[in-house]
């Protein structure tokens, strides 16, 4: 399945990606903030989180990296980081608050990654996994830089809901649903499923050796 990159589709992709960068960068600041990093450290982690997954995706797809082509994404990540850094000084925040923008970033980057891959002509299964990678790699970079085990490897349903949402998005496109509507439905499903998994502690079975 190859999507024709019409102006409307590219416009939708632009705004989805921009929102993903902002919320993912915000989640990074909230996570890094509890490590008591200074402003520069927080900004570096925010940029790695907000731009890392999409950068890896673009390199694998042999595309020009999105934030190098358009520095608005880099600026958005920077502004998001500084804004949350300053806001945290005047507003009390829970250590788990980062999970909400993290879920939003997972959803929006997952859809954006899938969409970009389809536009470049990737097969549907590869495109769905590119969505997972785009949605999760920023969080992995964030957690590694914070010297923690990545959330994706030990938390409630994370990459699973991202992959399910990416496949749902592709399925809706095959049903000839308009791209923006399909992206909204699939993205909300990823976001909602991730929050429900956290709320009810739903996770995949963990590996263990027979005793």
Q: How many residues does the chain have?
A: 211
The model's pLDDT over 55-113, given as tens digits with 9 standing for 90+, comes to: 999 999 999 999 999 999 999 999 999 999 999 999 988 878 889 999 999 999 999 99
pLDDT at 206 over 90: no
The model's pLDDT over 2-44, given as tens digits with 9 standing for 90+, comes to: 677 788 888 999 999 999 999 999 999 999 888 889 999 999 9
Which pLDDT band holds residue 154 (cuts at 50, 70, 90)?
confident
């Amino acid at each position: 399945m190859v999507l024709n990159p019409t102006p409307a589709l590219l416009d939708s992709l632009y705004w989805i990606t921009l929102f993903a960068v902002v919320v993912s960068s915000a989640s990074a600041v909230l996570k890094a903030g509890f490590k008591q990093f200074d402003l520069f450290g927080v900004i570096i982690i925010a940029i790695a989180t907000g731009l890392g997954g999409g950068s890896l995706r673009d390199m694998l797809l042999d595309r020009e990296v999105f934030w190098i082509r358009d520095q608005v994404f880099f600026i958005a990540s920077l502004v998001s980081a500084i804004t949350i850094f300053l806001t945290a000084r005047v507003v009390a925040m829970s250590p788990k608050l980062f999970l909400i923008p993290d879920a939003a970033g997972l959803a929006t980057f997952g859809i954006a990654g899938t969409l970009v891959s389809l536009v470049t002509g990737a097969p549907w299964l590869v495109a769905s996994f590119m969505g997972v990678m785009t949605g999760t790699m920023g969080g992995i970079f964030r957690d590694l830089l914070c010297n923690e085990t990545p959330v994706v490897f030990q938390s409630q349903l994370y990459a699973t809901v991202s992959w399910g949402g990416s496949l749902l998005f592709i399925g809706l496109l095959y049903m000839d649903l308009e791209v923006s509507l399909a992206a909204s439905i699939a993205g909300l499903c990823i976001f909602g499923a991730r929050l429900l998994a956290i709320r009810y502690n739903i996770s995949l079975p963990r590996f263990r050796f027979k005793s």
